[in-house]
Structure 1
Amino acid sequence: MTSLLEYRSNRIVELMEEPAERRDADWLKESLQQAMMLELATLPPYLSAMWSIEPQSGDVFQAIRRIVFDEMSHLGLAGNMLTTIGGVPRLGDVHTVPKYPGQLPGGVRPSLKVFLSGLTKESLELFAKIEEPDDPIAEARSHTSIGAFYTAILEAFQDHPELITGAHQLERRMEHHGAGNSLAPLTSLADVEAAVDVIKEQGEGTSASPENPHAGQSPELAHFYVFRELFHGRKLVKVAENPDRWEFTGDPIAMPGTRPMGTVPEGGWGAPGHPAPDAETQTLLDKVNQKYSQMLDLLERAWKAEDTTTAEGFLDDAVGEMVGLKGPARLLMLREVPGGGGKTYGPEFRYVET
């Protein structure tokens, strides 16, 4: 089983190549585990960029913060889809956690190299490529989207609605972060269809509009278009109708000041060929890795819990660990890397046994 869950594999590509008649319960369970790995892969890069912004306020900070909360919700929805059909999420496992720098899991967009750094034009371009739709309203398509994978998952649910049991579902009220961001039990096909719509449309928009129809505040663009606005430094505006045409020619968007977090090297800051961090820096790195790992372990335990009260307790603890990541991560961004040209350390998001 471990080989199928290996983060650096080609499994999503292989799953997408399976004919529809073979997309059964086992196919769905494996696909949804891979979907959770995909959702988790976006969080460390987005968090690193968001935490590098100085001060932690302003329009750009708030835009990325909204996306982070959306992605947390997507991870929860994918987990509920997995457990409602009897699957068990695997998050606290060195084989399934993201590896940075590296590819997205499962062979998705193999030319894309995901890295951890502060907020830069390069990181914004990366984030947009992660979120890119099949048919962008503005700019040309260059890849098949993650949304296509969710479409295949939804079609398998539609072929096998009898698999939906409503078991081991996590619940959390999060309407203040967006209309579709609350975690609610998925007990019917309609619930699953709504969940997939939220995941796809928050990330990509709809085929007719770049706007996020599940916004916390209106109007709000889907993730891809937010990242492209920030990259171009201009608001996306509608410049023609019938047919609609959108261009990045609106009001200017200034890049905020940032703490100069460098790019985390493969294997972490103390990897061979890189200077070993001093003791205080290593303590901060270890603290972030431990809290990140505990968060994943607690989320996994929440989905495995046999009763709602226990699940809520584990989920609350996981959220607490998540909140606790920010402090040491931001402190790392004040500590210069020896010989790094003024660049600073930042979180590694490596899984360690806890």
Structure 2
Amino acid sequence: MGSVTEYGARYIIPSSATRSFSGRTLQELLQIALRVEFATIPPYLTAMYSIKDKGSEAYQFVRGVVLEEMIHLNLAANLLNAVGGEPELVVPPGRGNPFPPRYPAHLSEDAEDGGPYLQLMAASAELFRSTFMRIEQPAQPDAPPQEAGFSTIGQLYAAILAKFEEYDHDTGKYDAARQSERWNFGNSGGTVIIVRDLDSAKRAINEIVEQGEGADMTGELRDPDYRVREPWGQYEYYGPRADGTYGPVLGTPLELSHYFKFKAIADGTTPLPPTYPMIANPGREKYENALAVELSDLFDHAYSALVDDLQKALRGDKDLFFTRVVPAMRVTLPGLATELMQTTIAPAGYTAADPTAGPAFRYVPARERRRSAALDRLIADLGTGRYRGGSDTLGATLRRIRENQPAADEGEYGDV
């Protein structure tokens, strides 16, 4: 059993007798990793949106994790683009397991027993403890690489690392043309890395794993063990240091990893403010209130446009990230989600404590999106008081989404 120790992270590469092989190519494994990264974002966003106090430490903890998951998504896409793959976030029915997932759903069909069960729920200590911590729990350093049926995300990335070593030995060709390092929502840990060789591929993988992913879900991991065996687990920013090594960069903010951020909320160390009374796993079929149905459809359509744009951005259309993806994630989705969480599922007239709607994060094919008039109605009603979340910024972003809807002849999935 050998180990790779470059850049501060230890990957255990066992003999072929103890590895799990699936016959998947490096590109296929990277597609799995890309979708695993993406699948966690809607549940995290839902919990974040449900927290009423946007200035609270708990809200900022979750927001920081989401920002880093977006960086991980870009890193996974850069790794895939580097070896000639094409990032794919939209998989229509009939071409395998449809993606994006419809929640509730397991983390990945390629994980052991599907991995953690992801639900769209308001933030609670139990949600952070039973689901979010399980996703982000730090990896045991002796967990073997696992290409299929992996019980931890870390095992998947260790398998990807081993495949990269084989790829570099056999081919050694890396394409940086469609990769992007213009990927930033604001202050957050992590660095986007252009993958040009095996060295930078390892750094990109480490950047993902060291921020808190790679859970050993087969047993409970005691915190003291983790701090000893993974001494950088509580840092958030990693990169090349002055002495030529790779690791936590002194002088940058020392913040908790994903696992410890979620643990702090679950344990009550970081208080969880009041949340909106959103029903679990919301969806239009659960609503009697016509306004909730309309807002739900609009959110799904805005989210679907975001997925399409994000896929194009990951494939090399770099301008789309800042012109469409960032505005949608900063303004459109939060505004509509908050509006949903303030709208009761039953017709108006009930108390503020009654159950409310929430974002369903359901992908709608482009052709079906064009048939909805909900977007035009919302734009027309902005400023009338009907929508509490209305603003000039929200209106401008929604108008941009409408202007960029696909033409009628682009097919069911547009040009994605």
Q: TM-score range by the shorter chain?
A: 0.7 to 0.9
Q: 2:312 & 2:324 partners in 1: Cα distance?
A: 11
What is the 5 A alignment of 1:68-79? Answer: 68-79=66-77
What is the 5 A alignment of 1:193-204? Answer: 193-204=202-213
Query: What one-letter code is carried by the residue in structure 1 that aligns with 2:293?
Result: Q
Change (3 A) 1:277 1:193: farther
Paired position in structure 1 for 2:53: 55
Conserved? CA contact 1:79–1:89, under 8 Å = yes
Conserved? CA contact 1:298–1:314, under 8 Å = yes
Say yes or no: does 1:166 pair with 2:171. no
Query: What one-letter code is carried by the residue in structure 2 that aligns with 1:322?
Result: M
Say yes or no: does 1:119 pair with 2:123. yes
Conserved? CA contact 1:102–1:113, under 8 Å = yes
Paired position in structure 2 for 1:325: 333
Paired position in structure 2 for 1:231: 266
SS at match of 1:160: helix
Q: 1:207 & 1:164 partners in 2: Cα distance?
A: 30
Question: Larger radius of gyration, structure 1 or 2?
Answer: 2
Q: CA offsets, 1:201-260, max 9 Å, x none? A: 1124872243124179532111111111110113xxxxxxxxxxxxxxxxxx32211112
Gaps in structure 1 of 5+ consecutive residues: 1-15, 137-142, 235-252
SS at match of 2:272: coil
Query: What one-letter code is carried by the residue in structure 1 that aligns with 2:174?
Result: I
Conserved? CA contact 1:118–1:261, under 8 Å = yes
Q: Aligned to 1:301, which of 276, 301, 312?
A: 312
Paired position in structure 1 for 2:241: none
SS at match of 1:74: helix
Q: 2:320 & 2:357 partners in 1: Cα distance?
A: 33
Q: 2:44 & 2:121 partners in 1: Cα distance?
A: 9
Q: Aligned to 1:263, which of 253, 273, 280?
A: 280
Structure 1 position 101, deviation (Å): 0.8
What is the 5 A alignment of 1:21-170? Answer: 27-94=25-92, 95-110=98-113, 112-125=116-129, 126-135=131-140, 144-161=151-168, 162-170=172-180
Change (3 A) 1:105 1:289: same
Q: CA offsets, 1:299-349, max 9 Å, x none? A: 2222444xxxx5323553122222211101111101123399822111000
Structure 1 position 280, deviation (Å): 1.6
SS at match of 1:57: coil
Conserved? CA contact 2:179–2:315, under 8 Å = no
Quick check: 167-176 or 189-198, which moved more? 167-176
Percent identity over paired residues = 32
Structure 1 position 176, deviation (Å): 4.9
SS at match of 2:358: coil
Conserved? CA contact 1:154–1:196, under 8 Å = yes
Number of aligned residue pairs: give it.
Answer: 299
Q: 1:76 & 1:58 partners in 2: Cα distance?
A: 27
Structure 1 position 296, deviation (Å): 1.3
Q: Aligned to 1:336, which of 341, 344, 349?
A: 344
Paired position in structure 2 for 1:291: 302
Structure 1 position 62, deviation (Å): 0.9
Q: CA offsets, 1:34-69, max 9 Å, x none? A: 111101111111111111111211111111111010
Q: Aligned to 2:190, which of 177, 180, 183?
A: 180
SS at match of 1:292: helix
Conserved? CA contact 1:298–1:315, under 8 Å = no
The normalised TM-score by structure 1 is 0.77
Q: 2:189 & 2:281 partners in 1: Cα distance?
A: 35
Gaps in structure 2 of 5+ consecutive residues: 1-18, 93-97, 142-149, 214-225, 239-248, 367-416
Say yes or no: does 1:207 pair with 2:230. yes
Paired position in structure 2 for 1:241: none
Quick check: 38-47 or 168-177, which moved more? 168-177
Q: CA offsets, 1:64-119, max 9 Å, x none? A: 11101000111111111111111111113341212211211124253632100110
Q: 1:77 & 1:229 partners in 2: Cα distance?
A: 27
Conserved? CA contact 1:211–1:222, under 8 Å = yes
